[in-house]
Amino acid sequence: MRKQKEKSSVKVCAVIVTYNRKEMLQKCLKALLNQTVSPDEIIIIDGPSTDGTTQLIREKFPEITYVRLDEDVGGAGGFYEGMKLAYNKGCDWIWVMDDDVVPERDVLEKLLLAVGNDQNLIARPALIDAPGFAPWFAGGIFSRTTIKRIGLPIRELFIYGDDVEYIIRAEKAGVKIIDVKNARVNHKDWRLRGRLSKKILHKTITGSIYPKGRKYYYIQRNQLYVNTLHRNWRALFILLTKGSASSLVKYLCWATQKRR
pLDDT at residue number 212: 64
Q: What is the pLDDT of residue 241?
A: 76
pLDDT of residue 202: 66
| pLDDT recorded at residue 203 | 67
Is residue 40 within 8 A of residue 2, CB to CB? The reply is yes
Give the model's pLDDT for residue 59: 97
Half-sphere exposure in the Cβ direction for 176 (13 Å, CA): 10
10-residue averages of pLDDT along the chain (260 residues): 61 98 96 97 97 97 97 97 98 97 98 96 94 94 98 96 97 97 88 57 61 77 92 79 62 51
The whole-number pLDDT of residue 245 equals 60
Q: Looking at residue 246, what is its pLDDT?
A: 62
Neighbours of 91 (CB within 10 A): 25
Which domains are present in the chain? 12-189 (3.90.550.10), 193-254 (no CATH)
pLDDT at 220: 84
Spell out the residues 6+ positions from residue 77 whose beta carbon is closer than 8 angstroms to its own.
Answer: 69, 155, 158
